[in-house]
Structure formats: structure tokens, C-alpha cells
Structure 1
Amino acid sequence: MCGIVGYVGMRNAPDVLLEGLKRLEYRGYDSAGLAVKSDGRLEVIKEVGKVADLARLVEERQLEGCQGIGHTRWATHGGVSVDNAHPHCDDCGNFVLVHNGIIENYLDLREELEAAGVTFTSETDTEVIVQLLARLYQKDMLDALVKLTEKLRGSYALAIMNREIDGTFYCLRKGSPLILGIGDGEGFCASDVPALLPYTRQVVYLEEGEIAAVSRDGIQVWASDGQRVEKSISTIDWEVSMTEKAAYPHYMLKEIHEQGAVLRTTLKGRVENGKVDLSPELAWDKKLVESWRKLHIVACGTSYYAALVAERVLEKWTDLEVKVDIASEYRYRHLRADTETLAVFVSQSGETADTLAACRLARSQGAHCLAVTNVRGSTLAREVHDVLLLKAGPEIGVAATKTFMGQIAALYLFALYLGRMRETLSAAEGNRLLEEMLRLPYKVEVTLEREDSVRALAEKYADRKDFLFLGRGMSFPVALEGALKLKEISYVHAEAYAAGEMKHGPIALLEAAVPVMVIIPRDGLYEKTLSNIQEAKARKAPILAVATDGDELISRHANDVLRVPWTDEEMTPFLTVVPLQLFAYHMARLRECEIDQPRNLAKSVTVE
């Protein structure tokens, strides 16, 4: 949510800032702006709309300079307007800054500043920060920033320029992500790695409360009390090409089609002599593993649905008491997470605010914490005991697809590993399941080759306003994810229920205008799900089924069928989710929706 880019060096700063902002568009935004230091002045340009709209204004103004900061805003405090867009300046034009986060005490601070004679031009909490900074500054920038952190309550990532200081911009971080980049005679900051990839792979991760000065000569970092901090430099292993669309019309479609490769990458290096070996990543001994009695899995959104899939196999393959919860609920419940608890936190970005808060709570109570994330240097990855990486590569489309695939793959490997270490899963059964996992990349690609049939189905139902998704057992979380995808990018109302719950309310909605998408692979609950289809058909609802190859019976009961290859019951989510992703994509395209950047959504929810 919101995107920040900062640059100082020898390049034309507006070019770098605009390119960086384009690469952060997936974070969700409604306005954009930048500030450049040029001939001793701070020049600000901002606009409601897309980065492309801002780029036209920059070109018209012929703005140039070698130092600047940029921002894409997702409105929180104040409506969508040019006045509320970032960057914001103080009333004397000495400071300019951009902000990601929420200042919880901004109203109190604003009242104090207004009482001192300050006039505000926006409704934002961000303008309060810059006006306050201007009053705290007494020719010592570090001292002013330390005092600023003492005054602010809430979350923030800040990039700041001072008109008096050439060749340096400043960064502060608390609760919202901010990464520093180091180039040859140039420095950067950004909310996320893709903005930096065209220029550098050498990065420094700011920790909670840290303050940084970024210049052509390098980076200096201080703790919130002004004490100098030595930082290590990390190298990003992503390539620039990973963030390009290639020949695909949308990032989402490209990422759906990368899922076979994601499975191969996730499995690579983690299978040794026919069994799962995570020991290079998880340095657990048998005594530690056997000390756990409870397993908590905590996540948000699509990651939560991946956790629900994993819950079902962990219950089968281990003897742990498994509980899955939404992070925004978990953090406020009176749950016992103690030294007998393994707490797993699933987050694509590793920056989700509620997941981070839940992790900090569990760790404070003594739980052993594991992160399952796609970003090696993320805040979540740095705050847990252990990390299991997805290895999915950057995901640019706001609606998660390949990271869902990577999450369930990583969680399945984790479940197999845990089951063998606790001796609750036999070697023979573990080997059999792993052999089928190794075949899944090919089966996913076979499913993707059937995209034309999914497109045809979307054409048939593109005008529908409501959908009901149903599934049982392993297929219930898949139904939830399928409904979420349809809502996210096509703006079609879709609800998902466990199929057995249909008679407890949802059946009242069924009629000829409401299609029912049923996930019904050939599994142990097949006949029960078939009974639910009959109930829906009796209410004249069109039945769309995602079913297994060779299942002829379903053709007699469903109006339309999307096929997936056969696999073991436990592995069906890897295949059945793919047609649902494609269906949501083609529905959105036919309805002319903004697929990669759907309205009101952000890729990473970094505020509560």
C-alpha cells in the first residue's frame, strides 16, 4: 500500500523515480507525485490518476535534477485529490517528504501546530509530519529526525529532502517497509525490491526505528536514539526479466502460466534420496520437533486459504493440534502460544501488518516462529526463528496466483518433513506422496494447456452478477480462493461455502441467474458433493464443475465441466485452483476490468 522511491546520483532523477513508481504500481494507488531538487529548489509535481499521467506532467515541465523522491498514494487520511497526494512540503518550502503508513496521533499534533500558527493545505497525516519536522529542525538533521521519531505514534516509512542539504536524502522506518539500494556513486530507497532491480541488487534493509542518510558516497544508519548502527549489505537474486510481462497481455496471466516452473523451483534442492530434506533451511533436531504439541498457522487473504489447504494435510500427516487463523483475528484473541507451540506465519511479501503483529505476539509468548514467505529479506523473515522461502520470484499482479501455488507447495514439503521427523508418517507413504508431488509441475502445465475451454466458459457467463462456489474437504479452501479471485479482478459478487453448508442459508440465493461453481475431483467426498449439485440443480442454478479427467458421471449432472488430470486426493488443490484462476482472469478481461491493478486493492497490506 503506497509506494516510495528515492534517488541521488548522476542520472536524471525524474527518469529513475518514474521508472521505480511504474514498478510499484501493483501496490495499489490513486495518485502519484515526485519532488526533485533542482538549482537549490525543491520542485514538486503531483497528480490524481496513474503514473503515466504524472509522467506527462513531468515531461511538460521538463523537470531535471539528480536527487528526488517519488510516491504513489493509496488514500487513507483525506480523499483522492491533488492536494492530498504526496509529496508534501512545509509552509516555507524547506522540507519535502513522502510517507507510507498511518500516524495515529496526527490529530493531536495537527491541533498543536495549528495553535502555533501553521496553516495546512491538505487533510493528510503526512503533512503533519513535514510541518512538525520543519519546527524541530535546528540546523542538525539527525537531531531533528530523532526528535521526530519521539513525537510520532503509528507506522511510517519516510523519504525526506532538506533544501539546505545537497546530495543527500533521509529515510525513517517504523512498521512500514523501506529498502535502501547501493549503486556506483548513487543511492536509492524503495518500498519494494522491483523498483531497484534495473539499477542495483545491493540492498540494505532498515529495521524498526532506524534512520538513514543516503548519498552518492553511501549509506549511514542510526538507531532511533541517534546511535550509529553498522549494517550488512544483502544481494537480491531476482532478475529484471522476472518483473517484465514478456509476451503476455497482463502480469496475472504470465504468473498463472509460471506455476509449473514455480513448483519445480520450490521442490528443487529440497528432495534428497526420495525424501524431503529441509535441514539446510530448518536446523531442527528431533528433540525440538518432539517438544511441540500445537501448531498455529496464521495468515491473511490468499495466504490464509493456502494455510487452510495445508491444515488438512498436517492433520493427516502429523499428530500436532493444528489451528489456522486470520492474522487480524489471531492477534486480538486470547490464544495460548507457548514453548510447546510452533507458529507458522504465511505472507507473500513478509510485510503484512497484521501478520507481523501476530508473529510478534506469538514470539513474545514463547512460541517457535517460522515464516513462509517469498521475500528473503522481508521484515517477517528477519523477525522469526526460521524461514522457508517460496522461491516463486516476484509477483507483480495484485491478485496472488503463483505465490498461492508456491505457498501450498512449501507448506506440503514442510508437512511431509514434519511428519517424518515426528514419525507419524511412514517412509512408504511419505515416498508415495512425494513422488506424486514431483509429477505435479507437468500436470499443472497440462491443465494450463486447456485454457481455451476456460475462456469459452467465461464468455458464456460473463454477464452474471453473482456466483456461488462450493467444495468439500481439500476442495473447500480452493472454492474460497476461486471466489476471492473472481471478486478481486472481475468485481463479480462471489461467495464460497463448504458444500455441506449450502442448505444452511446459501441455497436461498439459488436461481437460474446464479451459477454454482463446484470443485469436485474424484476423492473420498465425491458422492456427497454430487448430492449437493443435485440440490442446486433442483433450484435451476447452472452447474459449473471442476472435475477429474475420465469422470463421465459429472457430465450428466453439470451444465459445464472444466477438467484436470488425476492426482492423489491430497494433491488436488494444486490442479483444481488453476481453472479457477484462469476463469477469473478471462471474466475480468471480458468485462474490461483493470486486471493487474484492481480498484481499491493493494498487493501488500502494510497498515492495519
Structure 2
Amino acid sequence: MTVQAAGSPSLQSLLRGHSDAAPEQRPRTTMYRTTRTCAAGAAPPADSGGRPSALDSLAPAVAGMLDRIRAVTPELFGDHARRILPTAEAVLILACGGSYHLALVAKGWIESLAAVPVNIELASEFRYRESVANPGSVVVALSRSRDLDDVLGAIELAVRMGMPNTLGICDSSNQTLASACRLGFTMNAIPDGAMTSARTGTMQLIALFLLALVLARSRRALTAQQEQSHLQALHELPEVVAEAVTLTSGIQAWAERLASSDDMLFLGRGMHYPVAQEGALNMKEIARVHAEAFSAGELKHGPLALVSADIPVVVTAPGDRLAEKLNSNLQEVSSRNGKLFVFADTDCNVPANLGIEVMRVGRHRGLLTPIVHTIPMQLLARYTALERRCRIEGTRDTACAIEAG
């Protein structure tokens, strides 16, 4: 299976062929403002490195995005969503880099809430391999990067394979991706700067959770009471993010100790395994540290051999149904002299003792907890990079690291 050859129909013409709208009346995608601006000319607060604080800008951005969302309706994703989303037989998510990890979180949400099967593909691989199409799929494209070749190529291939119902989730600077899809959730562009990828990633996770709710409601798998409960939890996120500011000094202290390490391990279970994967990717890209992520449940199948006093182990520990199993995994690491740095919910019973340091992120937030735990992971990579004197802004090379995915 190949991507479009010279002279073959363009992606736009393929989409028009499947669309109910005339070419000059492309379906509207939905844009949400994701920032509340500071006073004119005011600069955002700065962290100890003299750069804008990611958390201080993230909480208002989340609040701005959620301000107008008062109900779970297909129209959140564009004009034709009410016709397309309720008939989806499956979801195919195409993504690269860190967005792939967000997709893994979304898979858990969509399958648990809506009982719709989800397949996730690396766009860079999907576009070059033969695969079996499900014409009843909604194809979701994610990107936090300005390098869209793989994602656009994968969308084009999906359309050519007979899967025209495409949904792009991106910020408004990615107009190419937005216009390539029939449906869209487009956020206002987030200015370049410290932790831009972290902010965009948080917004994309919220959009994916809303998609899960819409799919669940369209299948009558979500009661009105459950819908309101989930919306209330979403509207509490700005406060939860702001609360995370109090973690900054502790994260900086951990970063000072981790900065001399050339290797790190990251662990998580269930929906938090992708959070660990994202944390490891951030540490590689931003702090230039070799980092690998594993499912904590897979430790005994090989990765445990890597544990030593010389390799720090960073863990995301929610207070969910897998908490006790995760505790058992952590004890295995501790018994081998592993040094554990654990981001845990306040209601997660992870004991702080010799070899296990625990930082409490806040109370368990149910299905939204992965969104909360990505924030300290991002900050840990950033402050480790600062301690290692890595340039994380100001050059094209380092900007690519921040924008990856």
C-alpha cells in the first residue's frame, strides 16, 4: 500500500468526494480559546530559571478552554459530528511522538466509557504499511508538532482506504491538519516558550476525554447524572492544575539529585503506563537523559534486571484499583537497592521509607488522573534539563525537542 503518487487525487479532493458539503463550504471545525490573557504588556510569571512558569500559564489555559463547555454534544467536534460520531464502529488514532502516548490514555477512556474498540497507530509506520481498513471507523489525528508529513500522509492513506470520517485535534497553528479532516477540535494557538508541548498535550487530553464522553452518550452508555459528574470533574481541573504549583520546589529538589544520572527508568500501570512513557520521552528530549519506560507489571519479565542503586526509578502512582499491585512492584525495586521517586495521589498508600521518596500530587481524580500526573512528569524533565545546563529554548534544535509529538 502506498501513499499518494504524483498526479493522484489530493487529500482535499478525496475528502470532498466523501463530504456532504460543497468544496467551497467545507464543514466547520470547532475552535476553543485556551488562554486567558494577562493584562496588556504583562509578562507571565517566571520560574527560577527566568522563564515563564508552565503551571502558572497552564491553569488559566485549561480554564479558558473549558469555560464554554457546559454539555456533552457532538457539535463540540464540528458541523457533521452529530451524524458521524454516533455511527462509529471503531476509532483509529494516528499520532507520532508524545501524542502517541496521549492516544494510549484515550484508548482506555473510550473503551471503558463508550465500549468502542480503539486501535492506535504510529502515523510514521501506518502510512508505509499494508493494513486492513474498517470503513466504519472514525480516524482521529493528533499532533503537537509542526512537522506534519507523517500525520498528513497517514490521514491521506486512511481516506484512500475508505475511511473518510477523519477528526483532527490540534491547535490553530496547525491549519493544514485542521483543513485535512472532516471534523475537528481546534484550540487557539499557544505561544512558543517554555513547556509549550506540555500545555498543548494537556489540552489534547481534555479534547480526547470529551470525545470519549460524546461517544459514550451517543451509545446511551452515559446517563445524565454521569455526564454532569464528568463535566464537574473537568471544570475542577484548573484548580487542580493550580494546586500543582506547590510541587515546583519539591520537583526542583529532585531534579538537582537526578541531574547527574545518565540513565533513568519510568514505571506506571494501567492508564498510567502511557504517563510513564511520556515522562521518559520528555526526559530524553528535554534533558538529554537516556530514559526507558516500562509497565510496572512487566518488571519481573526482564526489566527488573536493570534496577540498581545507580539508576533512578520515577513512578506515577494513582490511587486506583491497581495501587496495591503497584506497591508490590515498588517493593521489588526497593529490595534491589533501587532509588524510587514516586508521584502519588494522597489516597495512594505508598510508604515513604529508605529508598522510596514520595511526592503527593493531590487526591485521586478518577479517569482524569492521568492528565494531572503528566504535569509533574513534564516539570521534572524541565528542571532536570536546567540543572544539566541543557538549552531548552532559543535554537531550532531545542525547539524541536519541546515541540516533539
TM-score (norm: length of structure 2): 0.83
1:396 and 1:336 map into 2 onto residues whose CA distance is 40
1:309 and 1:394 map into 2 onto residues whose CA distance is 25
1:578 and 1:605 map into 2 onto residues whose CA distance is 14
1:255: Cα distance to partner? 3.5
1:239: Cα distance to partner? 11
1:516 and 1:492 map into 2 onto residues whose CA distance is 13
Structure 1 alignment gaps of length 5 or more:
1-152, 154-173, 176-206, 209-229, 231-236
Q: Secondary structure at the match of 2:389?
A: coil
Is 2:50 aligned against 1:264? no
1:218-272 CA deviation, whole Å, 9 max, x = no partner?
Answer: xxxxxxxxxxxx9xxxxxx99998999645367975334322122212222222x
**Contact map agreement 2:167 2:184 (CA 8 A) in 1:** yes
1:384: Cα distance to partner? 0.9
Q: Secondary structure at the match of 2:53?
A: helix
Q: Paired residue for 2:85?
A: 289
Sort the Cα spacing of 1:545 and 1:401 in 2 relative to 1 into closer, same or farther, 3 A: same
| 1:591 aligned residue (374, 388, 393) | 388
| 1:321 aligned residue (91, 112, 117) | 117
Is 2:151 aligned against 1:355? yes
Is 2:171 aligned against 1:374? yes
Q: Secondary structure at the match of 2:91?
A: strand
| 1:332 aligned residue (117, 128, 140) | 128
Q: Paired residue for 1:510?
A: 307
Superposed CA RMSD: 3.5
| 1:309 aligned residue (88, 101, 105) | 105
Which aligned pairs between 1:73-112 and structure 2 lie closer than 5 A?
none
1:605: Cα distance to partner? 12
Larger mean CA deviation between 552-561 and 541-550 belongs to 552-561
2:78 and 2:251 map into 1 onto residues whose CA distance is 40
2:51 and 2:103 map into 1 onto residues whose CA distance is 22
Larger mean CA deviation between 411-420 and 592-601 belongs to 592-601
Q: Paired residue for 1:565?
A: 362
Q: Secondary structure at the match of 2:197?
A: coil
Sort the Cα spacing of 1:399 and 1:390 in 2 relative to 1 into closer, same or farther, 3 A: closer
Structure 2 alignment gaps of length 5 or more:
1-5, 14-23, 25-32
- Once the two structures are aligned, what percentage of the paired residues are identical? 32
Which aligned pairs between 1:41-190 and structure 2 lie closer than 5 A?
none
1:396-421 CA deviation, whole Å, 9 max, x = no partner?
Answer: 44772101101101111111112111
TM-score (norm: length of structure 1): 0.57
Which one has a larger percent strand, Structure 1 or Structure 2? 1
**Contact map agreement 1:350 1:375 (CA 8 A) in 2:** no
**Contact map agreement 1:516 1:542 (CA 8 A) in 2:** yes
**Contact map agreement 2:340 2:356 (CA 8 A) in 1:** yes
1:565: Cα distance to partner? 1.2
Q: Paired residue for 2:199?
A: 402
2:52 and 2:302 map into 1 onto residues whose CA distance is 35
For 2:299, the aligned partner's letter is M
Sort the Cα spacing of 1:532 and 1:252 in 2 relative to 1 into closer, same or farther, 3 A: farther
Q: Paired residue for 2:75?
A: 279
Is 2:356 aligned against 1:577? no
1:328 and 1:437 map into 2 onto residues whose CA distance is 32
**Contact map agreement 2:195 2:402 (CA 8 A) in 1:** no
| 2:237 aligned residue (418, 429, 440) | 440
* Larger Rg over CA atoms: 1
1:543: Cα distance to partner? 0.8
1:548: Cα distance to partner? 1.1
**Contact map agreement 1:398 1:597 (CA 8 A) in 2:** no
2:206 and 2:293 map into 1 onto residues whose CA distance is 23
Larger mean CA deviation between 370-379 and 466-475 belongs to 370-379
For 1:491, the aligned partner's letter is R
For 1:515, the aligned partner's letter is P
**Contact map agreement 1:349 1:374 (CA 8 A) in 2:** no
Is 2:320 aligned against 1:523? yes
Q: Paired residue for 1:489?
A: 286
Is 2:96 aligned against 1:300? yes
1:547: Cα distance to partner? 0.4
Q: Secondary structure at the match of 2:344?
A: strand
Count of residue pairs the alignment pairs up: 380
1:445 and 1:263 map into 2 onto residues whose CA distance is 10
1:392 and 1:409 map into 2 onto residues whose CA distance is 16
| 1:534 aligned residue (309, 312, 331) | 331
1:441 and 1:399 map into 2 onto residues whose CA distance is 17
Q: Paired residue for 1:467?
A: 264
Is 2:46 aligned against 1:248? yes
Which one has a larger percent helix, Structure 1 or Structure 2? 2
Sort the Cα spacing of 1:533 and 1:415 in 2 relative to 1 into closer, same or farther, 3 A: same
Is 2:343 aligned against 1:546? yes
Q: Paired residue for 1:428?
A: 225
Sort the Cα spacing of 1:378 and 1:543 in 2 relative to 1 into closer, same or farther, 3 A: same
2:110 and 2:51 map into 1 onto residues whose CA distance is 30
1:506 and 1:517 map into 2 onto residues whose CA distance is 14
1:337 and 1:321 map into 2 onto residues whose CA distance is 14
Q: Paired residue for 2:214?
A: 417
Relative contact order, higher structure (CA 8 A, sep 6+):
2
